[in-house]
């Protein structure tokens, strides 16, 4: 699987998650490369380039390879695990990226997700997150 199609799959999985926080200002569209500058109450995405507005569904996935978009993925992971500011990642020889709670950099304690890329580890952490309470 190419890196682009892997990122698109991860973006779709994030959007399908019950923990998807929606489109937010600063995200980048994986297909068009447009930066979201505003999202209105009907989920229209306003971009920084022409066309100025992209109706819902125009951008099928966020670009999880973009650091700005990935920051929102991290925000969704923190919310899903009720772990404000307490999620970190690290790299290593076999797993590359690990998402853990708190200051457990070298502690084998709780593990939320792991992956060969930061975005893969974060999406796995969303997959493993507890269900939202109604």
Write down the pLDDT at residue 45: 67
Write down the pLDDT at residue 61: 87
Write down the pLDDT at residue 58: 66
How high is the mean pLDDT in each 10-residue block of the chain (134 residues)? 80 95 87 76 60 61 93 93 66 71 65 86 92 76
What distance in Å separates the CA atoms of residue 109 and residue 105, rounded to the nearest whole number?
9
Write down the pLDDT at residue 44: 65
Q: What is the DSSP string of 26-80?
A: T-BBTTT-PBEEEE-TT-PEEESSSSSEE-TTSS-SB-TTSHHHHHHHHHHHHHH
Write down the pLDDT at residue 8: 92
What are phi and psi for residue 71, nearest 5 degrees? -60, -35
Write down the pLDDT at residue 112: 85
Number of helices and strands (H, E) in the chain?
3, 6
Write down the pLDDT at residue 68: 92
Write down the pLDDT at residue 10: 96
Write down the pLDDT at residue 125: 92
Both tokens of 10, joined, read 């991860």
State the pTM of this model: 0.81
What distance in Å separates the CA atoms of residue 122 and residue 77, rounded to the nearest whole number?
7
Write down the pLDDT at residue 4: 67
Write down the pLDDT at residue 16: 94
């Amino acid at each position: 699987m190419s890196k682009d199609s892997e990122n698109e799959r991860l973006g779709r999985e994030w959007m399908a998650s019950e923990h998807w926080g929606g489109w937010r200002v600063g995200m980048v569209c994986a297909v068009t490369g447009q930066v979201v500058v505003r999202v209105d109450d009907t989920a229209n995405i306003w971009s920084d380039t022409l066309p100025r507005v992209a109706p819902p569904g125009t951008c099928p996935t966020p670009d999880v390879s973009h650091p700005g978009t990935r920051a929102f993925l991290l925000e969704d992971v923190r919310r899903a695990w009720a772990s404000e500011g307490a999620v970190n990642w690290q790299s290593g020889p076999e797993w590359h990226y690990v998402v853990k709670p708190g200051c457990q950099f070298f502690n084998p304690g709780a593990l939320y997700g792991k992956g060969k890329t930061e975005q893969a580890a974060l999406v796995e952490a969303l997959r493993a997150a507890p269900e939202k309470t109604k």
